[in-house]
Amino acid sequence: MTPTATPTVECGTDGTHLALLEEYTSSCGTNSVYHLFAVINNGAAVTLSDITIKFWPYDTSGVNLVGQITTGGCVWNPTCSNNVTGTSISALNFSPACGPTTTQMANWEMTISTTDTTVLSGGTSWVGLQTLVNRSDNQPFVPGAAYWYSPCVMASTYSINSHYCLYLKGNLVTAAGGVPPSCRPLPTCTPKPGEMMAAKGLDTEGGPKLTETPTPIPTRSALLQSVVAAPNISTGWEPVRFLVNLNGPAHVRMSLYSLSGEQVYGVQAEGSAGLNTLTWNLQNSAGQAVASGLYIYELRIVSGTDMETKTGKVIVVH
Protein backbone atom coordinates (compact mmCIF):
# COMPACT_ATOMS: atom_id res chain seq x y z
CA MET A 1 0.00 0.00 0.00
CA THR A 2 1.11 3.56 -0.69
CA PRO A 3 0.39 6.15 2.03
CA THR A 4 -1.58 9.21 0.98
CA ALA A 5 -0.79 12.74 2.11
CA THR A 6 -2.62 14.05 5.15
CA PRO A 7 -4.35 17.31 4.12
CA THR A 8 -3.67 20.63 5.94
CA VAL A 9 -0.42 19.36 7.49
CA GLU A 10 2.63 20.82 5.77
CA CYS A 11 5.60 18.64 4.93
CA GLY A 12 9.01 18.94 6.46
CA THR A 13 10.94 18.10 9.55
CA ASP A 14 10.45 19.50 13.01
CA GLY A 15 13.31 20.54 15.28
CA THR A 16 11.23 20.50 18.46
CA HIS A 17 13.29 19.39 21.44
CA LEU A 18 11.52 16.04 21.83
CA ALA A 19 13.34 12.80 22.53
CA LEU A 20 11.95 9.30 21.95
CA LEU A 21 13.29 6.59 24.22
CA GLU A 22 12.58 2.86 24.27
CA GLU A 23 12.92 0.28 27.04
CA TYR A 24 12.67 -3.41 26.18
CA THR A 25 11.96 -5.18 29.45
CA SER A 26 8.68 -7.02 29.02
CA SER A 27 8.95 -9.60 26.27
CA CYS A 28 10.61 -10.41 22.96
CA GLY A 29 8.78 -13.67 22.35
CA THR A 30 8.52 -15.71 19.17
CA ASN A 31 4.89 -14.64 18.67
CA SER A 32 4.58 -11.41 20.68
CA VAL A 33 6.72 -8.33 21.20
CA TYR A 34 6.22 -5.68 23.88
CA HIS A 35 7.70 -2.18 23.60
CA LEU A 36 7.84 0.47 26.32
CA PHE A 37 8.24 4.10 25.19
CA ALA A 38 8.93 7.49 26.75
CA VAL A 39 8.67 10.90 25.06
CA ILE A 40 10.84 13.55 26.75
CA ASN A 41 10.04 17.22 26.11
CA ASN A 42 12.90 19.65 26.69
CA GLY A 43 11.50 22.52 24.64
CA ALA A 44 8.26 24.38 23.96
CA ALA A 45 4.92 22.91 25.01
CA VAL A 46 3.25 20.46 22.60
CA THR A 47 -0.13 18.72 22.62
CA LEU A 48 -0.11 14.94 23.01
CA SER A 49 -2.62 14.48 20.18
CA ASP A 50 -0.08 16.08 17.78
CA ILE A 51 2.48 13.35 18.56
CA THR A 52 2.76 10.03 16.72
CA ILE A 53 5.33 7.26 17.07
CA LYS A 54 6.21 4.85 14.27
CA PHE A 55 8.20 1.62 14.19
CA TRP A 56 8.66 -1.10 11.57
CA PRO A 57 8.33 -4.92 11.97
CA TYR A 58 8.98 -7.53 9.30
CA ASP A 59 6.85 -10.64 8.75
CA THR A 60 6.53 -12.80 5.62
CA SER A 61 3.82 -15.21 6.83
CA GLY A 62 1.06 -13.43 4.91
CA VAL A 63 -0.96 -13.14 8.13
CA ASN A 64 -1.89 -9.69 9.43
CA LEU A 65 0.06 -8.14 12.28
CA VAL A 66 -2.03 -6.48 14.99
CA GLY A 67 -1.09 -4.09 17.77
CA GLN A 68 -2.49 -3.30 21.19
CA ILE A 69 -1.90 -0.51 23.70
CA THR A 70 -1.44 -2.36 26.97
CA THR A 71 -0.71 0.82 28.96
CA GLY A 72 -1.34 4.38 27.82
CA GLY A 73 1.22 5.82 30.22
CA CYS A 74 1.07 9.15 32.02
CA VAL A 75 2.51 12.67 32.03
CA TRP A 76 5.47 12.83 34.44
CA ASN A 77 6.89 15.91 36.18
CA PRO A 78 8.40 14.62 38.43
CA THR A 79 5.54 12.31 39.40
CA CYS A 80 2.69 10.84 37.35
CA SER A 81 0.27 13.79 37.19
CA ASN A 82 -2.38 12.37 34.86
CA ASN A 83 -2.99 9.20 32.85
CA VAL A 84 -2.97 9.46 29.05
CA THR A 85 -6.22 8.28 27.44
CA GLY A 86 -7.41 7.66 23.87
CA THR A 87 -4.16 6.02 22.73
CA SER A 88 -4.27 3.52 19.86
CA ILE A 89 -1.95 1.65 17.49
CA SER A 90 -2.55 0.79 13.84
CA ALA A 91 -0.76 -1.58 11.45
CA LEU A 92 -0.08 -0.99 7.73
CA ASN A 93 1.37 -3.62 5.40
CA PHE A 94 3.42 -2.39 2.42
CA SER A 95 5.41 -3.85 -0.45
CA PRO A 96 8.16 -4.25 -1.42
CA ALA A 97 9.98 -4.74 1.87
CA CYS A 98 13.26 -2.97 2.49
CA GLY A 99 16.05 -2.64 5.02
CA PRO A 100 19.71 -1.73 5.37
CA THR A 101 20.61 -5.40 5.93
CA THR A 102 18.85 -8.76 5.57
CA THR A 103 18.44 -8.87 9.36
CA GLN A 104 16.96 -5.34 9.56
CA MET A 105 13.91 -5.44 7.30
CA ALA A 106 10.50 -3.76 7.20
CA ASN A 107 7.19 -4.50 5.48
CA TRP A 108 4.83 -3.41 8.28
CA GLU A 109 4.44 0.07 9.75
CA MET A 110 3.04 0.45 13.28
CA THR A 111 1.70 3.90 14.18
CA ILE A 112 0.92 4.97 17.76
CA SER A 113 -1.32 8.01 18.24
CA THR A 114 -3.61 9.50 20.88
CA THR A 115 -6.68 11.73 20.98
CA ASP A 116 -5.62 13.03 24.40
CA THR A 117 -5.29 16.82 24.21
CA THR A 118 -3.21 17.16 27.37
CA VAL A 119 -0.38 19.67 26.93
CA LEU A 120 3.11 18.24 27.39
CA SER A 121 4.98 21.28 28.65
CA GLY A 122 8.75 21.75 28.62
CA GLY A 123 10.47 19.66 31.28
CA THR A 124 7.74 17.01 31.37
CA SER A 125 7.61 13.53 29.85
CA TRP A 126 5.10 11.02 28.54
CA VAL A 127 6.27 7.80 30.16
CA GLY A 128 5.08 4.20 30.55
CA LEU A 129 3.52 3.86 27.07
CA GLN A 130 3.50 0.12 26.36
CA THR A 131 2.51 -1.69 23.15
CA LEU A 132 2.05 -5.33 22.15
CA VAL A 133 2.49 -6.64 18.57
CA ASN A 134 1.57 -10.13 17.40
CA ARG A 135 0.13 -11.98 14.44
CA SER A 136 -3.67 -12.11 14.23
CA ASP A 137 -3.47 -15.92 14.56
CA ASN A 138 -1.01 -15.64 17.50
CA GLN A 139 1.49 -17.90 15.71
CA PRO A 140 5.26 -17.24 15.61
CA PHE A 141 6.59 -14.43 13.45
CA VAL A 142 8.26 -15.43 10.16
CA PRO A 143 11.24 -15.37 10.00
CA GLY A 144 11.22 -13.86 13.52
CA ALA A 145 11.43 -10.60 15.46
CA ALA A 146 15.23 -10.63 15.18
CA TYR A 147 14.79 -9.60 11.52
CA TRP A 148 12.75 -6.44 12.20
CA TYR A 149 13.98 -3.00 11.14
CA SER A 150 12.91 -1.75 14.59
CA PRO A 151 14.71 -4.21 16.84
CA CYS A 152 13.38 -6.02 19.86
CA VAL A 153 16.26 -6.03 22.34
CA MET A 154 16.06 -6.96 26.00
CA ALA A 155 17.46 -4.15 28.17
CA SER A 156 16.75 -2.65 31.57
CA THR A 157 17.00 1.09 30.87
CA TYR A 158 15.53 3.57 28.41
CA SER A 159 17.72 4.23 25.38
CA ILE A 160 17.48 5.83 21.97
CA ASN A 161 17.39 3.79 18.76
CA SER A 162 17.40 5.40 15.31
CA HIS A 163 15.03 2.73 13.95
CA TYR A 164 12.09 4.26 15.86
CA CYS A 165 10.66 7.62 14.80
CA LEU A 166 8.76 10.45 16.45
CA TYR A 167 6.49 12.79 14.47
CA LEU A 168 4.82 16.07 15.39
CA LYS A 169 1.80 17.01 13.25
CA GLY A 170 2.99 14.50 10.67
CA ASN A 171 6.53 15.88 10.46
CA LEU A 172 9.59 13.91 11.48
CA VAL A 173 11.15 15.30 14.66
CA THR A 174 14.81 15.40 13.70
CA ALA A 175 15.97 16.06 17.26
CA ALA A 176 14.62 12.65 18.28
CA GLY A 177 17.21 10.97 16.05
CA GLY A 178 14.96 8.48 14.25
CA VAL A 179 15.40 7.46 10.59
CA PRO A 180 12.54 5.72 8.73
CA PRO A 181 13.41 2.76 6.49
CA SER A 182 14.28 3.73 2.92
CA CYS A 183 10.98 2.43 1.51
CA ARG A 184 8.94 4.76 3.77
CA PRO A 185 10.15 8.22 2.64
CA LEU A 186 6.75 9.36 1.38
CA PRO A 187 5.29 12.26 3.35
CA THR A 188 2.36 11.97 5.70
CA CYS A 189 1.70 15.62 5.01
CA THR A 190 0.89 18.09 2.22
CA PRO A 191 3.82 19.83 0.45
CA LYS A 192 3.95 23.60 0.82
CA PRO A 193 3.08 25.46 -2.43
CA GLY A 194 6.60 26.81 -2.75
CA GLU A 195 8.07 23.34 -2.29
CA MET A 196 5.82 21.86 -4.99
CA MET A 197 6.84 24.63 -7.45
CA ALA A 198 10.51 24.22 -6.64
CA ALA A 199 10.23 20.48 -7.25
CA LYS A 200 8.81 21.27 -10.72
CA GLY A 201 11.60 23.75 -11.53
CA LEU A 202 9.33 26.82 -11.16
CA ASP A 203 9.61 29.96 -9.10
CA THR A 204 6.87 31.04 -6.67
CA GLU A 205 4.97 32.79 -9.49
CA GLY A 206 4.86 29.63 -11.60
CA GLY A 207 7.50 30.76 -14.10
CA PRO A 208 10.89 29.20 -14.79
CA LYS A 209 13.08 29.01 -11.74
CA LEU A 210 16.21 31.15 -12.07
CA THR A 211 19.40 30.14 -10.30
CA GLU A 212 22.50 32.16 -9.52
CA THR A 213 25.96 30.77 -9.05
CA PRO A 214 27.44 32.35 -5.92
CA THR A 215 30.93 33.79 -5.98
CA PRO A 216 33.24 31.61 -3.88
CA ILE A 217 34.49 33.33 -0.74
CA PRO A 218 37.96 32.31 0.42
CA THR A 219 37.95 30.77 3.88
CA ARG A 220 40.74 29.84 6.22
CA SER A 221 41.41 26.22 7.09
CA ALA A 222 39.27 24.98 9.98
CA LEU A 223 40.82 24.37 13.38
CA LEU A 224 38.12 21.84 14.19
CA GLN A 225 37.30 18.79 12.10
CA SER A 226 34.39 17.54 14.19
CA VAL A 227 32.88 17.24 17.66
CA VAL A 228 30.61 14.40 18.78
CA ALA A 229 28.74 14.06 22.07
CA ALA A 230 28.62 10.38 23.04
CA PRO A 231 25.94 9.75 24.05
CA ASN A 232 23.93 12.84 23.14
CA ILE A 233 21.09 11.47 25.29
CA SER A 234 22.42 10.30 28.65
CA THR A 235 20.30 7.90 30.70
CA GLY A 236 21.08 6.20 33.99
CA TRP A 237 23.79 8.74 34.93
CA GLU A 238 25.99 7.76 31.97
CA PRO A 239 28.75 10.40 31.56
CA VAL A 240 28.84 12.34 28.29
CA ARG A 241 32.13 12.26 26.40
CA PHE A 242 32.83 15.03 23.90
CA LEU A 243 35.07 13.65 21.14
CA VAL A 244 36.89 16.65 19.67
CA ASN A 245 38.87 16.08 16.46
CA LEU A 246 41.40 18.88 15.84
CA ASN A 247 43.49 19.69 12.79
CA GLY A 248 46.37 20.79 15.01
CA PRO A 249 47.33 21.83 18.53
CA ALA A 250 44.86 24.30 20.08
CA HIS A 251 43.38 25.46 23.37
CA VAL A 252 39.97 23.87 23.92
CA ARG A 253 37.25 25.16 26.23
CA MET A 254 33.91 23.42 26.74
CA SER A 255 31.01 25.19 28.48
CA LEU A 256 27.56 23.75 29.23
CA TYR A 257 24.45 25.88 29.76
CA SER A 258 20.92 25.24 30.94
CA LEU A 259 17.98 26.39 28.79
CA SER A 260 17.75 29.50 30.97
CA GLY A 261 21.28 30.46 29.88
CA GLU A 262 22.99 29.67 33.19
CA GLN A 263 26.44 28.11 32.84
CA VAL A 264 26.41 24.83 34.75
CA TYR A 265 29.84 23.45 33.93
CA GLY A 266 33.09 24.34 32.19
CA VAL A 267 36.32 22.54 31.38
CA GLN A 268 39.38 23.48 29.35
CA ALA A 269 42.44 21.67 28.07
CA GLU A 270 45.35 21.93 25.65
CA GLY A 271 44.34 19.81 22.68
CA SER A 272 46.58 18.09 20.18
CA ALA A 273 46.09 17.14 16.53
CA GLY A 274 43.64 14.27 16.19
CA LEU A 275 41.05 13.01 18.65
CA ASN A 276 40.72 14.62 22.10
CA THR A 277 38.21 13.64 24.77
CA LEU A 278 36.46 15.88 27.31
CA THR A 279 34.20 14.12 29.83
CA TRP A 280 31.17 15.56 31.64
CA ASN A 281 30.06 13.52 34.65
CA LEU A 282 26.61 15.21 34.73
CA GLN A 283 27.66 17.52 37.55
CA ASN A 284 27.70 21.30 37.83
CA SER A 285 30.79 23.30 38.67
CA ALA A 286 30.09 22.78 42.39
CA GLY A 287 30.14 18.98 41.98
CA GLN A 288 26.36 18.60 42.35
CA ALA A 289 24.32 16.35 40.07
CA VAL A 290 22.40 18.23 37.38
CA ALA A 291 18.68 17.74 36.81
CA SER A 292 17.14 15.97 33.83
CA GLY A 293 16.74 18.28 30.86
CA LEU A 294 18.26 19.75 27.73
CA TYR A 295 21.71 21.34 27.95
CA ILE A 296 23.51 23.46 25.36
CA TYR A 297 27.24 23.01 24.94
CA GLU A 298 29.64 25.55 23.46
CA LEU A 299 33.04 24.40 22.26
CA ARG A 300 35.62 27.14 21.73
CA ILE A 301 38.88 26.36 19.90
CA VAL A 302 41.75 28.91 20.00
CA SER A 303 45.08 28.68 18.19
CA GLY A 304 47.16 31.86 17.97
CA THR A 305 44.88 34.57 16.58
CA ASP A 306 42.38 32.08 15.13
CA MET A 307 39.25 31.02 17.00
CA GLU A 308 36.30 28.77 16.16
CA THR A 309 33.10 28.09 18.10
CA LYS A 310 30.80 25.09 17.83
CA THR A 311 27.50 24.60 19.67
CA GLY A 312 25.17 21.64 20.14
CA LYS A 313 22.86 20.00 22.64
CA VAL A 314 22.74 17.00 24.91
CA ILE A 315 19.82 15.56 26.89
CA VAL A 316 20.07 14.18 30.41
CA VAL A 317 17.40 11.73 31.60
CA HIS A 318 17.60 10.32 35.13
pTM over 0.75: no
- At residue 223, the pLDDT reads 85
Per-residue pLDDT, 153: 67
Helix count and strand count (H, E) for the chain: 1, 22
Domains of the chain and any CATH numbers: 13-193 (2.60.40.710), 224-317 (2.60.40.2550)
The predicted pLDDT at position 196 comes to 33
Residues 6+ apart with CB under 8 A from 103: 146, 147
In this prediction, residue 197 carries a pLDDT of 33
Confidence at residue 185, expressed as pLDDT on a 0 to 100 scale: 64
DSSP state of 144: -
Tens digits of pLDDT across the chain (318 residues): 333 434 444 445 555 678 888 765 446 788 989 888 889 887 889 999 999 999 999 999 999 999 999 889 899 876 777 899 999 999 999 999 999 899 999 999 999 999 999 999 988 889 888 899 999 999 999 999 999 999 886 555 667 788 999 999 888 887 777 888 888 864 444 444 443 333 333 333 333 333 333 333 333 447 887 787 777 778 778 888 888 888 899 999 999 988 767 889 999 999 998 888 899 999 999 999 998 888 888 888 988 888 888 877 788 887
User: Which pLDDT belongs to residue 119?
Assistant: 94
Q: For CA atoms 50, 53, 59, 61, give the dihedral sign.
A: negative
